Amino acid sequence: MANKIKDFWQSISLHDRKLIRWTAIVCYTILMVSLILLFFFSRHLKPTEELPDTTAKHEAPKEQPPVELPNPPQGSQELMAGLDSFDTHAHRELATIYAEREDFDKSILHARRIAPWLEEDLEFQGQIGQTFLKAGNPGEAIPHLEKALKLGGKTPELLADLALAKYRAVNVDSGITAIRAAEVAFPDNPLLMTHEAAMFGEAKSHGDVAETLFHKLLQKFPKYPEAHYQYGRFLMNQGNFGSSLKEIQQALSEDALDPRFHARLGMVYFHLNRDNDAERAYRTALAMNPRDYNTWFNLGELNLSLANETDRPALFAQKTREALEDYLTTLANHPDHPEAHYRVGVILSTNKEYREAIRHLQMALQSDPYSVRVLVQLATAWEALGDQVKAWDYAQQAYEIDPFNILVADQYRRLKQNGTKG
């Protein structure tokens, strides 16, 4: 082969060979220069965060000049040093977009980056306070909502959010006191009246008061969807599912675009054993808000219930698999959901995936270290793996908490006997 190439090269004229050599040299030089330039150019590039696709809900943002950061407050030099190349306007826009998508973790991340520079911004303080509240952090919501009110944002919405945050973070009386003070400032406001009735409804010893407040509210505002929704929620918690269904349906007739209404409708249908209707309502809610981890969990409960009710092995396997996927989606949106971890642990243990099951069960146990059912499942999983010491440890803990539980007592005695034999 080498001889053929050499003969071919010799057959070319001297002039052509020189031309080929020079062409190769020029191409090689261009290639090397390009590689060197590419290397130096890439070294000076800065990574940027990908902006979310907002075309579905927002018009294209108008071009605005960069917003210069004011002088940071005292003691915030470290924050200033860690602030990336985005300006306050970009962070604020992202915080708003993610809050609208109910991706609260990302919204709070961007809001916190600029919070020291927006201490006196009424709109920002109200927004981040509401985001903390919706994210399930009412204690962190309170100072921001109070700051917004001090800055002059005394609106029924802000007052309602603050009362709800105090109700959830402090106590029932604190929330009711706050909502009644707000009603003095804004009498006959439907939002504030709804919050007051709902608060009494959640305080189980005040059911009669809640009933009276809801009737008064709906007489005054018969077409207010939030009132029908909260009343339906109250009735469902009272076990009155038929009346609850009517109220949730009325709320949907007034506002069919609120995913909470569809999610609650699914819960009522589930309790009424209308499984197909429940699944349809849940999926409608998730189509509107795919990050609603509570509805993903409830869909998992529905599928697990259907699995347990069937005597067909194929359907049992299918529904159990679907339930597992729903619970895992719950955890993808809310990693600390203890019930989802427990359900995943039980299903994986049933599938003999014991080590992965143990990981989820231990996460569930962190939320409630005295949960007998979790301790029993952990003992079962470790026993299946042949670790009698760990199995006995968890079984002993469960027995100390609930020695009169037949399942716990049987497991305790069996493991104790096995340990004695060993």
Mean pLDDT in residue range 321-327 = 97
Query: Is the separation of the CB atoms in 182 and 160 below 8 Å?
Result: yes
pLDDT at residue 103, as a whole number: 83
* Nearest-5° Cα angle at 30, 25 to 32: 95
Residues 6+ apart with CB under 8 A from 250: 225, 228, 232
Burial 56-94, CB ≥16 within 10 A → b, else e: eeeeeeeeeeeeeeeeeeeeeeebeeebeebbbebbbbb
Q: What percent of the chain has pLDDT over 90?
A: 64
Domains of the chain: residue spans and CATH = 85-187 (1.25.40.10), 190-289 (1.25.40.10), 336-422 (1.25.40.10)
Q: What is the pLDDT of residues 298-317, one digit of tens each?
A: 999 999 999 999 999 999 99
Q: What secondary structure, in 3-state letters, does 250-303 show?
A: HHHHHCCCCHHHHHHHHHHHHHCCCHHHHHHHHHHHHHHCCCCHHHHHHHHHHH
pTM beyond 0.85? no
Residue 199 reports pLDDT greater than 60: yes
Query: Is the separation of the CB atoms in 330 and 337 below 8 Å?
Result: yes
pLDDT at residue 28, as a whole number: 65
Mean pLDDT in residue range 361-385 = 96
pLDDT at residue 55, as a whole number: 32
Structure tokens at 25: 């040299």
Residues 53 and 57: their CA atoms lie apart, in Å, by 9
Q: What is the pLDDT of residues 127-178, one digit of tens each?
A: 999 999 888 899 999 999 999 999 988 899 999 999 999 998 988 889 999 9
Which of 60-69, 93-102, 394-403 bottoms out in mean pLDDT, i.e. has the lowest?
60-69
Q: Could you tell me how far CA 1 lies from the centroid of its own chain?
A: 67
Residue 7 reports pLDDT greater than 70: no
* Nearest-5° Cα angle at 375, 372 to 376: 85
Residues 207 and 199: their CA atoms lie apart, in Å, by 10
More confident residue, 22 or 110: 110
Structure tokens at 16: 């052509």
Burial 128-148, CB ≥16 within 10 A → b, else e: bbbbbbebebbebbbebbbbb
Residue 6 reports pLDDT greater than 80: no
pLDDT at residue 367, as a whole number: 93
pLDDT at residue 62, as a whole number: 40
How confident is the prediction for the chain on average, in pLDDT?
85
Q: What is the pLDDT of residues 83-118, one digit of tens each?
A: 444 578 888 888 888 888 888 888 888 888 888 888
Residues 6+ apart with CB under 8 A from 405: 372, 398
Query: Is the separation of the CB atoms in 132 and 144 below 8 Å?
Result: yes
Query: Is the separation of the CB atoms in 75 and 55 below 8 Å?
Result: no
